[in-house]
Structure 1
């Protein structure tokens, strides 16, 4: 078997033109694992309402963070892929779940190099329906339709792996060095509460009641909320953060259904009103800086903090293309190369 690796990130519009943004949002929001309502309702919501109002506003947001080379998420992911390729002797390709860098193109690139066994590595530390699951489901569909001779292995969530926590903690420590922070906020991308319940393989454990995420259960294998909170706990322990000086929150909610709480924007506002003058924020649900980190957090979040009396707002970069993160991915690939077990690496 000739092996290869497909790194997968979220994706990005081709440009900041509202037409390109609209095309991207249509693909993203019409995914039934992102907005998990009946198709007729999704069409009504997305194409009848959201796409008639949001593309222009989103395009303006992308314009604030767009690099000369293009989308930050794409550029950073490409840099990361090149570093990983330099550290492994098997082909590595890059694809996006949404946008023009399609999963099909990424798989085809590997097949054209003679690959017949591929490890799909979603670049998401925590499992979620709208991230890891939608990638794996789409890859399976493509494999059956276009690549019947290709064997596909999937890489599982790495939120609690000791080597990952080591790299993440080191990056955060570097970002905090010399900063007189009073509180560190771990902000994760939000998801509707119903996603948590739908992902519960026990169909009874997840109640989002403050206890279920800390009560041992096989449901945690696919529980985004548990995995986010666990990441925070492990990093806090690694950095010896004192109780009360750190917390977790969730950002980027959409619509009127209940989403995971507390909300990041309201949490930032609350800390400022409480008299916190110096705070730092890290976004461990993302490995690459993108619209949600560069605009929603680093710009909008800082503005909220200053409006309520906050002074210093430190945004910790994502892992991006750090050498130690690229080497970590290469190490995991090496582990996979040395095993013939066709299951997710635990």
Structure 2
């Protein structure tokens, strides 16, 4: 069998034009694993309310961070793909869960090269319904419909792999060299609390309290909250961070349902109000810088901190196409290819 790899990231509008942003948001928000309510209610909410108001504001946000080459997330993902291709001996394609770079196109690219066994590689360290799970479900749907003879194997969440933690920790340390900071905030993308309970394979463990995420359980294999907290713990241990000098928060909530807390914007506000003058922030739920890191954190987060009296706000880039990260993914791919 000929093997190949499909890297999959979130996606992006084709341009920061409101029309393209609206099309992208419509696909993204109508995914039942992103807004997990009945179809009729979801359609009413998304098409009847959100898409009538949000595209213009989102387009303005995208314009702030758009690069000359295109969407930062797409450009960075392509750079990552290109570097990996130079280090491995099998075809490597790139796709997005949403937008014009579809998973179907990515699988077609590999099949056209004679590939009949694919390593599906969601570019997310932690498992979540709205990220990894929706990629796996969509890929299987496409396989059954268009590529029934194709074998697909997926990469599980790698949040706690020691080599990943080392690469992430070294990147954080490198970007903080020479910087003055009193507190390091680990900000992860938020999800509704009900997503955590829905992903609980034990149907009883996840209480979203101070105990369940640190109590051993099979539920942790698919618990986004546990996996985020574990990344923070492992990196803090690796970097020998002192208790109280770091914390975890969650960003990008939508709607009025309870989402994972504490919220990043309120945490930044609280730290500033509390007299903190210098802080750093890292976003380990993303491997590629995107709207949520470049605009929501680096711009809006910094503005909040300064308004609260803070001075230095250091944003640590995602791993992007960092050479150590490229080497890590390439090694994992090579090990899979040779097993």
For residues 142-181 of structure 1, what are the structure 2 equivalents within 5 Å?
A: 142-181=142-181
CA distance in 2, matches of 1:66, 1:155: 30
CA distance in 1, matches of 2:37, 2:97: 20
The structural deviation recorded for 1:53 is 0.1
Indicate yes or no: 2:25 matched with 1:25.
yes
CA distance in 2, matches of 1:250, 1:76: 23
1:13 alignment partner in structure 2: 13
1:344 alignment partner in structure 2: none
1:91 alignment partner in structure 2: 91
Give CA-to-partner distance per residue, 1:155-208, whole Å, 9 cap, x none. Answer: 000000000001000100011111110000000000000000000000000000
2:253 alignment partner in structure 1: 253
Give CA-to-partner distance per residue, 1:6-51, whole Å, 9 cap, x none. Answer: 0000000000100000000000000000000000000010000000
Helix, strand or coil at the partner of 2:206: coil
CA distance in 1, matches of 2:175, 2:314: 8
2:292 alignment partner in structure 1: 292
The structural deviation recorded for 1:154 is 0.5
Helix, strand or coil at the partner of 1:113: coil
CA distance in 1, matches of 2:110, 2:151: 12
Structure 1 runs of 4+ aligned residues shifted over 4 Å read none
Give CA-to-partner distance per residue, 1:264-303, whole Å, 9 cap, x none. Answer: 0000000000000000000000000000000000000000
CA distance in 2, matches of 1:321, 1:333: 16
1:46 alignment partner in structure 2: 46
1:262 alignment partner in structure 2: 262
CA distance in 2, matches of 1:42, 1:173: 42
CA distance in 1, matches of 2:230, 2:182: 21
Helix, strand or coil at the partner of 1:49: helix
CA distance in 1, matches of 2:51, 2:316: 32
CA distance in 2, matches of 1:270, 1:108: 49
The structural deviation recorded for 1:338 is 2.4
Helix, strand or coil at the partner of 2:48: coil
The structural deviation recorded for 1:334 is 1.2
Helix, strand or coil at the partner of 2:261: coil
CA distance in 2, matches of 1:327, 1:179: 27
Helix, strand or coil at the partner of 1:226: helix
2:76 alignment partner in structure 1: 76
Helix, strand or coil at the partner of 1:134: helix
The structural deviation recorded for 1:335 is 1.5
CA distance in 1, matches of 2:332, 2:157: 12
2:133 alignment partner in structure 1: 133
Unaligned runs of 5+ in 1: 340-346
The structural deviation recorded for 1:215 is 0.1
Calculate the TM-score normalised by the size of structure 2: 1.00
* Aligned-residue RMSD, C-alpha: 0.4
Helix, strand or coil at the partner of 1:48: helix
CA distance in 2, matches of 1:185, 1:175: 14
1:204 alignment partner in structure 2: 204
1:232 alignment partner in structure 2: 232
Helix, strand or coil at the partner of 2:187: strand
CA distance in 1, matches of 2:96, 2:210: 34
CA distance in 1, matches of 2:55, 2:266: 25
2:305 alignment partner in structure 1: 305
The structural deviation recorded for 1:150 is 0.4
1:3 alignment partner in structure 2: 3
Unaligned runs of 5+ in 2: none
The structural deviation recorded for 1:337 is 1.2
2:242 alignment partner in structure 1: 242
CA distance in 2, matches of 1:201, 1:266: 31
Helix, strand or coil at the partner of 1:32: coil
Give CA-to-partner distance per residue, 1:202-250, whole Å, 9 cap, x none. Answer: 0000000110000000000000000000000000000000000000000
1:342 alignment partner in structure 2: none
